[in-house]
Amino acid sequence: MELDELEAQIKTLEDKKSGLIEEIKKNYGRIRYKKYEEKALDPYLKETEHVMVGPVRKKLRQMEFRISTQAYTPQLERQMIKDVRKAEEELKGMRQVERARRKKKLVQQDIIDAENRIKEIEEELKKIRETLKELYGKARTAKSANKQGVTFGEKHDHLVSMGDVVIIEEEGKDKK
């Protein structure tokens, strides 16, 4: 391989390595932000951990189903509709708790995703570093060989091999 080709490969790998390192930095920043976000949610969630959203939602669905499928007197139906509205108001107040719980799950998943991506990038970086180490060794060898005038696997055109000398002499004898 030529020295120029080696240097070009080294440069592309170095650029890729730099990009991956920047991506790792961004992911660490993202993890840090998500952990702060999670800490901010914790006090509210501890305060509201006793709040049960599921039973209220189930009760609301049952009341709506009963109203829509059964016939009641107008007075009883009005009372049931009032009860439905109360349950809806109660559920509306609980939506913030529900959102906070969902947000905490999403934040935790984001942290896990970012950590997994960092692991993937570190594996890629390890491979790139091994390749770079190999290329640096080849480049170092090629540079020192160029300084000393040694070439590997090539024959200079200005040199003539013994086989060529014999053929030239035989051609010279035939012409005389």
Q: Considering its fold, how many domains does the chain have in total?
A: 1
pLDDT-derived band of residue 172, with 50, 70 and 90 as boundaries?
A: low
Statement: residue 22 has pLDDT above 90: yes
State the pTM of this model. 0.64
Give 85-119 as a DSSP string: HHHHHHHHHHHHHHHHHHHHHHHHHHHHHHHHHHH
pLDDT of residue 28: 95
Question: What pLDDT does 52 receive?
Answer: 83
Residue 168 predicted with pLDDT over 60: no
- Tell me the per-residue pLDDT of 112-162, one tens digit each, with 9 for 90 and over: 999 999 999 999 999 999 999 999 998 888 888 777 776 665 555 566 566
Query: What's the Cα-to-Cα distance from 148 to each of 43, 137, 139, 152, rounded to whole Å?
Result: 71, 17, 14, 12
Domain of residue 162 covers 3-175
Q: At what angle do helices 74-148 and 53-69 cross, to 10 degrees?
A: 130
Q: State yes or no: pLDDT of 101 exceeds 60.
A: yes
Q: At 72, is the pLDDT very low, low, confident or very high (cuts 50, 70, 90)?
A: confident
pLDDT score of 176: 53
Tell me the percentage of the chain whose pLDDT exceeds 70. 84
How far CA 139 is from CA of 2, 6, 71, 77, 130, in Å, comes to 9, 6, 89, 88, 14
- Name the pLDDT band for 33 (thresholds 50, 70, 90): very high
pLDDT surpassing 90 at residue 91: no
The chain-wide mean pLDDT, for the chain, equals: 85
Return the pLDDT at 163: 60
